[in-house]
Structure 1
């Protein structure tokens, strides 16, 4: 399938099992390298890999700090758990980051952790947060996207009485820098989530792995778009791929497969500890071939 749009590349630094200064070093370096166009954190309150008692930073607070320390990179959370923050509060947080960054936010959101993943699920119990079933998680995500977009764009207070989300006199001031609003990226692969993607997303992200499964999920999204009369091409396809420092050739192969499958937004996950000059290495070893 021929593609005329050039792929964009970013990095993801999971803010867990690592120090703030290490993440800041990588983001500052990446900010000086034009081949790297975006940078991402994740949204977990406790580690989901490595030492279960290790460090884990709150994603949006950290993103705000990194927004103030960078000038060029687009930035976001891949992806925000809709289970953790009420949507009106999240809209306010995201607006603040968009203002601090001068309009560089890509707003990533998803249903939250999978119910069957104990290391991810424990963080909800540890923070006194409810962990509802999948139907609740997906339904509340759709309503959250509606409320957040309205808070970003509407000029008068409004009420919203949904099945899962209720707000009274909701109003957002200031508005985000980006107009009409920051791009909305929804992450996930379940068919229920893909229906929300079709309705609300500007970008859709899926973790890499089995490329055949990724392609089938993308085709399903095409179908859901067609069912509601939306052009599937209006949703940018995004993929997260883990980087191998020892075998960059395998990472380059995965990038090539993803691009050939129509994924034009590539997020390269960096594992800690980050080698010195890792952002330049990513640009030279992984991205240069596709420029």
Structure 2
């Protein structure tokens, strides 16, 4: 891709197998470092790695707490599972967090947990949530994006009669601080999800994996944008890269590859336990070295 904007760096702290105060420590430190522009947590109700019975925090509640303890960082969930919360409720939650943070929310959303991931799949039965097939989940996501945007922007109540969501007298008050609405990040790599990205997203997040696959997925997104008459350059490309504390050179090489491939939104995934001063280490060893 041409005319790639300068990269913006962020961190991700998966809120599982870790204490809340450890996450808070890292976010507070990152909030003082201008080179780290954004920070993220994920949206799972049970651990998807390590001890299956270990701790995992609810993402939006955690995000609101972290918002109240930071002043500068932009932040979000990579990504909200659209399977967990009805879209109108999610719009209300996200608006509240945007207000708490004085307009720093990056609204991340996706289809939800992959059905082939057994540790993710169990969340649904454990919390009494239905797990619909992929076609249903993708269709529901597209409608959810429409509903959420309308609740954030429309000044009068409306009815919505979709295939997957039905609302009567829907209305959002207050509105988010950010106008017309918080930036929408949609995460995922499937062809069906990328069609939703082309239609609704400001940012597309590639959830890790091989850079060659990320490049192919990005090219497919370009094609879907062209099909609906949207400029592909209007969607920022984002990717999550795992950080190696022991081999920072490996991570630096991955960052360089991602930037060369047109990904300008680099999210560095930090494994717990977090070393002391990890945000400063990330800045010095990874971000500054990649400038």
**TM-score over 0.5 for the alignment?**
yes
CA distance in 1, matches of 2:4, 2:46: 41
- In the other structure, the counterpart of 1:105 is 105
Residue 37 of structure 1 aligns to a residue whose secondary structure is strand
Structure 2 unaligned residues grouped into runs of 5+? none
What does residue 155 of structure 1 align with? Answer: 155
Partner of 1:235: 235
Map of 1:33 onto structure 2: 33
The equivalent of 1:48 in structure 2 is 48
Partner of 2:17: helix, strand, or coil?
A: coil
Paired residues for 1:1-291 under 5 Å: 3=3, 5-291=5-291
Alpha-carbon distance in structure 1 between the residues aligned to 2:99 and 2:116: 37
Query: What is the CA-CA distance between 1:194 and the residue it aligns to?
Result: 0.2
Q: Are 2:252 and 2:290, in contact at CA under 8 Å, matched by a contact in 1?
A: no
Distance in 2 of aligned mates of 1:84 and 1:211: 30
The answer to which of 281-290 and 223-232 deviates more is 281-290
Deviations 1:81-130 (A, max 9, x none): 00000000000000000000000000000000111111000001000000
Measure the CA separation in 2 of the matches of 1:93 and 1:254: 35
Equivalent residues, number: 291
Are the counterparts in 1 of residues 124 and 131 from structure 2 also a CA contact under 8 Å? yes
Quote the Cα distance in structure 1 between the aligned partners of 2:4 and 2:265.
13
The 1-side partners of 2:52 and 2:2 are apart by: 45
Q: What whole-Å deviation, never above 9, does each CA across 1:202-221 have from its counterpart, x for those lacking one?
A: 00001222111110000000
Q: How large is the Cα RMSD of the aligned pairs?
A: 0.7
TM-score (norm 2): 0.99
1:108 alignment partner, SS class: strand
Q: Distance in 2 between matches of 1:263 and 1:91?
A: 28
Runs (4+) of structure 1 exceeding 6 A deviation are: none
- Whole-angstrom distance in 2 between the partners of 1:17 and 1:290: 30
Q: Distance in 2 between matches of 1:106 and 1:158?
A: 25
User: Residue deviations 1:192-245, cap 9 Å, x none?
Assistant: 000000000000001222111110000000000000000000000000001000
Q: How far did residue 273 of structure 1 move? A: 0.2
Query: Is the alpha carbon distance of 1:262 and 1:80 closer, same or farther for their aligned partners in structure 2, counting shifts above 3 Å?
Result: same
> Aligned equivalents of 1:68 and 1:211: distance in 2?
35
Extract unaligned runs of 5+ from structure 1. none
How far is the alpha carbon of 1:290 from its aligned partner? 2.9
More deviation, 48-57/208-217: 208-217
Q: SS where residue 275 of structure 1 aligns?
A: coil
Determine the C-alpha separation between the residues in 2 that align with 1:42 and 1:238: 15
Q: TM-score, normalised by structure 1?
A: 0.99
Query: In structure 1, how many angstroms separate the alpha carbons of the residues matched to 2:40 and 2:271?
Result: 13
Q: CA deviation at 1:6?
A: 1.0
Of 8-17 and 202-211, deviating more is: 202-211
